[in-house]
A and B are shown apart, each in its own frame.
Chain A
Amino acid sequence: MKNLRNSFLLTLVLALFFACGGSGRQSTSKIYIVTTTGMIADAVKNIADTLFEVEALMGPGVDPHLYKAKQSDTKKLLAADVVFYNGVHLEGKMAESLESLAKTKAVFAVADGISESRLISTSQFSGTHDPHIWFDVTLWIDVVKYVNLKLQEKYPEHKAHFQQNTVKYLNQLVQFNTWVAEEVNKIPDSVRVLVTAHDAFGYFGRVYGMKVEGLQGISTVSEPGLKDITALVEHISSSKVKSIFMESSVSARFINAVVEGCKQKGHNLKLGGTLYSDAMGAAGTEEGTYIGMIRHNVNTIVVGLK
């Protein structure tokens, strides 16, 4: 029993030692908005500009499917005045926690702003949708409208300010959407095939008329089987697709396997560069904004395939 007493003492000492730590956000008087992905944070920043403090939990290069919460993330969510998350199961189990948080504070899934008929249903099971909604700019326009609506409801005193910013940003997005469509149209029809690591570009392909082939399924957890790779190699070699693309938040291993396989079939498949899929680029760079991220992708795809 002496051991017991010693353990208690040790615990007390260690607990006191660690209790001195602890971190959270620096308290400011500004209204604090927390989002899960950087894309949503970007939308909020465009609507509220410097009025609010906006922060995304999943930073540049973080795969939301594999995101692990830090303790400070919990504190941020608890401290937030409003929380926006993607929804349609992008955040996995975390969405359940956010739904329970919604009972006590303003928490919104931005995908709720998109009518269900415009979401891509996945597989034969009802009620499951492709979560990568940001790759269709027209869908993202709906998201921005929804965020604007929710912010106006929550902070009616800033209504005019939000409305003005939103109209400005929506104009940008509409023009940007036209630009994306024109760029993709420059790729010859026969090679307008986008081959990437996982099925993140379903919406992009649907709205801008590109065939999309992904190695992995929607989730990045299961690894592609040998059959997936062989079938893809066969397909690429026969249709003479010029380039294949990496993704910022997904491992490059499988893409390299496909390139190697095509080489053996006598088809010289190039690496077309890296696309941003589930996360934006570093903050402060052009790719660290929603428009910059999509623009980078479109430029990379057009150069690689033309």
Chain B
Amino acid sequence: MDLVIIITACLVAVTSSIIGCFLILRKMAMVGDAISHSVLPGIVIAFMLGGTLGSWYLLLGAAAFGILTTFLIEFFNKRGGMQHDATIGVVFTSLFALGIILVTVYARDVDIDQDCVLYGELDHVAFEEGKNIFGLLIPYTILRLSVMLLCVLALVVFGYRGLFLTTFDPAYAATIGISVMAWHYILMAAVSLSTVLSFGSVGAILVVAFLITPPATAYLLSDKLKQMILLSLVFGVSGSVVGYYFAAAIDGATSAAIASVLGAQFIVVFAFKAVQKKYFSAPNIPVV
């Protein structure tokens, strides 16, 4: 049981941390949180069309609205010349509000919201019957998340140059013929699909935490993209392992414990850097 849960957490940690590095560098860290809310109208509409609370249907609606969210954010950002944080705020509150209205008007009598139909519980992967692969019983959630991870890895490995250039120097990227918009939308589509899929397996708070905290901690330690990605993987994976046993020790919710450990990592590294800066560096004296 322990191993299955930890592996699930690690798969989401790795996927989210990789994507999160690009989000942070593009100053779009909160896009994951935005998606966690703005999928509500998608869920309600899918329910109204399908009429059941079966999850595949609703997942599709959620994914559609996840992608719509990122497209709207970019649209207002480009056309309105607004900052990303402002457009993220506008888009996700409006869509979430639309979802609430749909619930109160059309589905008042139904227990429907992201908590009930979309957000999964990390621990519950332990209940799943596995698929037999080479004599090992592997739960479907782990298979799904592995495929997701492979897709994200493929995107980052084969699209590294495009993602790298459009993240750090969009103007230069444009002059050498790389489509900044195309790469942005490819990244955003990856964000929406992977977050919605991960919500279903481990719940919202953990996905958002994995997207932002390990990359942010890594950002404190490194200014090279590859190193930052590697470091964020280390923080994400170690946070999952430590968080799991932390939850076991205090008998709490596993996903919340992992998210807290990720936060603690950030604080420790932050303090470490602050102390280092104060006592071990002398920025005003030129180094010979």
Contact = CB atoms under 8 A, between A and B. Distances in A.
Interface of A: 1, 3-4, 7-8, 10-11, 14-15, 18-23, 65-66, 68-75, 77-78, 89-90, 92-94, 96-98, 100-101, 103-104, 122-123, 125-128, 130-131, 199, 217-219, 221-222, 225
Contacts of A4: 230-231, 234
Contacts of A97: 120-121, 124, 127-128
A7 B268 CA distance: 11
A300 to B, nearest CB: 25
A92 B114 CA distance: 10
A262 B119 CA distance: 39
Contacts of B249: 18, 20-22
A90 B250 CA distance: 27
Identify the 8 closest CB pairs spanning chains A and B, nearest first: A21-B249, A18-B245, A122-B109, A97-B124, A11-B238, A92-B116, A101-B127, A74-B123
Contacts of B103: 222
A244 B228 CA distance: 58
Interface of B: 1, 5, 47-48, 51-53, 55, 100, 103-104, 106-113, 115-121, 123-124, 126-129, 221-222, 227, 230-231, 234-235, 238, 241-242, 245-254, 256
A123 B245 CA distance: 44
A31 to B, nearest CB: 20
B109 A221 contact: no
Contact of B113 (A8, A20, A77, A221): A221
B221 A15 contact: no
Contacts of B231: 3-4, 7
A236 B221 CA distance: 63
Nearest to B247: A71
A71 B251 contact: yes
- Which of A21, A71, A89, A90 neighbours the largest number of chain B CB atoms within 10 Å of its CB? A71
Contacts of A199: 109
B1 A75 contact: yes
A127 B57 CA distance: 15
A23 B254 CA distance: 13
A93 B117 contact: yes
Contacts, number: 154
Nearest to B110: A128
Contacts of A218: 108-111
Nearest to A10: B238
B108 A98 contact: no
B204 to A, nearest CB: 12
B234 A7 contact: yes
B111 A15 contact: no
A22 B251 CA distance: 8
B107 to A, nearest CB: 6
B115 A69 contact: no
Contacts of B112: 219
A36 to B, nearest CB: 13
Contacts of A98: 127
A111 B232 CA distance: 46
B274 to A, nearest CB: 15
B126 A74 contact: yes
Given A8-B234, A22-B249, A100-B127, A125 B107 contact: yes
22 contacts: A1-B227, A10-B238, A11-B242, A15-B241, A18-B248, A19-B245, A21-B250, A22-B245, A66-B115, A69-B124, A70-B253, A78-B126, A92-B115, A93-B55, A100-B129, A123-B106, A123-B108, A125-B48, A125-B110, A126-B51, A128-B109, A219-B113
Nearest to B5: A74
Given A4-B234, A8-B234, 15 more contacts: A7-B231, A11-B234, A21-B250, A22-B248, A68-B256, A69-B123, A93-B55, A100-B128, A100-B129, A122-B109, A125-B52, A127-B52, A127-B53, A219-B112, A221-B115
A93 B203 CA distance: 11
A23 to B, nearest CB: 5
A125 B111 contact: no
B248 A21 contact: yes
